[in-house]
Amino acid sequence: MSKDRLYGWLVIASSFLAIFCLFGYRSTFALLKGPMSAEMGWSQAQVSFGYSLMMIVYAVTAFLSGFVVDKWGARPVYVAGAVLGAAGFYVTAQVHSLLAYYVAFGVLAGVATGGLWTVSIVTVRKWFVGATYARIWGFAFAGAPIAQVVLSLFVNDTLRGAQGTAWRGAMELLGMLTLVCMCVAAFLAKRAPEAYGMKPLGEQPQQQAAAPVLAPVISAAEAYVTYPVWGAVLVFAFSTLAEFLLWTQVVSYWTSDLGMSLNEATRTYVVIGAIAIFTMPLLGIVADRVVQASGAEAIGRKRMLIAGPLIGALSVVPLLLQTAAAPLLGVLFCVLFAIYWAIVPGGIVGYLGAIYGRQSIGKIYSLVSMIVMGSGPFIGPLVGGFLKDVTGGYFYSLTVSLLSFLVAAFFAATLPLLLKRSAAGESKAASFPGVPA
């Protein structure tokens, strides 16, 4: 194996571990928030606010990490993730007040996880280009569903039959696991290929004669006066609002509204991860083939970003129709949601990389991540907890999720396919039928 391919696989492995740890936080919260609320006497809105606060801090950290990865690579962020990620779980396990919970889970965990997503996806994008990116990212992103399956089952087994403080022991063990995995990720991490005198791996699709020629934007400042980046922000923000509402509330919906046991709800919940282990790389292959068939990467990435939120909206329909006597509708939700999950998060940076090039993608995407993670994932859990406290159920929360997915699909349809440079050297989005310039 050539050295550049070896380094490419090390990047995939380190990104896999970072995503695994990130989703250790995201996937286990849905199971831990119920026992936390019961022991501490906190409302669902109060517990959910801890998660929303984590996403606000996550957003700011994600922005800063984009500058770090462009200059120094992933390793510094992964080292910080090892220390603070372990502390976020372990310190939260010791709290006895709401304020301490917000500081431990909101601030420590937010800083720890903030750089993991941005740095991982940007590093993979720097190493893999063109019609290979989505498939390769699918392998790295598989760390998310594996965490969702393995760690959810672990937490469920820890909580089953236990009373009171069992969630604390589960968090302590999760902290130790985070420390080990992130230390390994930091050891394996690599900088951009140019730092080693190498070129990125992969090929660009053959451009069709009528396909637009992309004009990459060099600076992040130049990118943020054009529509493609703001269109991507809107797609991502509304998608994540819907997604995080579902992540944090669906287990409670099954146990509270439908009367399922926590064990039964957990077994259904992990179907998302079990299916996504396969849909992550498979949908990556599909996305790359769509790019090849489209003749230009931006066209293919846009088509996938339209499909993703529509599938997300479709996934909510079985939940709205589900009853205690129809558990298979919950499984259908999991399958469709896993397909959505495999498309949109990686598709956003794929589209931005196709439009703006690789040079400043870390800075560009980090600001996207800050805006999005400070809005959609912050609002989603709060909406779910608030509507539950007000209405006594989760039906209206699910409806909000469905509508948010549809809004995301609308904005995906408006995404431009290229940039044009004016005579003065300024960049602006090129218009095409039905799309604002």
CATH superfamily, region 3-191+214-429:
MFS general substrate transporter like domains (1.20.1250.20)
Residues paired with residue 419 on neighbouring β-strands, in sequence order:
429
77 has a pLDDT exceeding 70: yes
Residue 289 has pLDDT above 90, yes or no: no
Amino acid occupying residue 225? V
For helices 75-92 and 3-40, the axis angle rounded to 10 degrees is 20
Confidence grade of residue 230 (pLDDT, cut at 50, 70, 90): very high
Q: Are 133 and 116 in contact (CB under 8 A)?
A: no
pLDDT at 65 > cutoff 80: yes
- How far apart are alpha carbons 308 and 406 in whole angstroms? 10
Write down the pLDDT at residue 336.
Answer: 96
Model confidence at 161, pLDDT cuts 50, 70, 90, reads low
What is the arithmetic mean of pLDDT over 286-291?
86
Q: Which residue has the tokens 């495999």?
A: 342
Grade residue 89 by pLDDT with cuts at 50, 70 and 90: very high
Q: What is the 3-state secondary structure (H, E, C) of 59-125?
A: HHHHHHHHHHHHHHCCHHHHHHHHHHHHHHHHHHCCCCCHHHHHHHHHHHHHHHHHHHHHHHHHHHH
| Domain boundaries, given as residue ranges, for the chain | 3-191+214-429
> What is the distance, to the nearest Å, from the Cα of residue 46 to the centroid of all Cα atoms in its chain?
23
Token pair listed for 385: 């907890």
CA gap 135, 181 in Å, rounded: 23
Q: What is the pLDDT of residues 359-410, one digit of tens each?
A: 667 778 778 878 887 788 778 877 887 888 888 888 899 999 999 999 999 9
214: its two tokens? 């992309």
Mean of the per-residue pLDDT values for the chain?
84
User: Does the pLDDT of residue 422 top 70, yes or no?
Assistant: no
pTM of the model: 0.74
Maximum average pLDDT range among 136-145, 176-185, 376-385 = 176-185
Mean pLDDT check: name the lowest of 1-15, 189-203, 207-221: 207-221
- At residue 43, the 3 state secondary structure works out as coil
Which class for 391: exposed (0-12), middle (13-18), buried (19 or more C-beta within 10 A)?
exposed
Do residues 205 and 289 touch, judged by C-beta distance below 8 A?
A: no
Check residues 148 and 316 and name the one with the higher pLDDT.
316
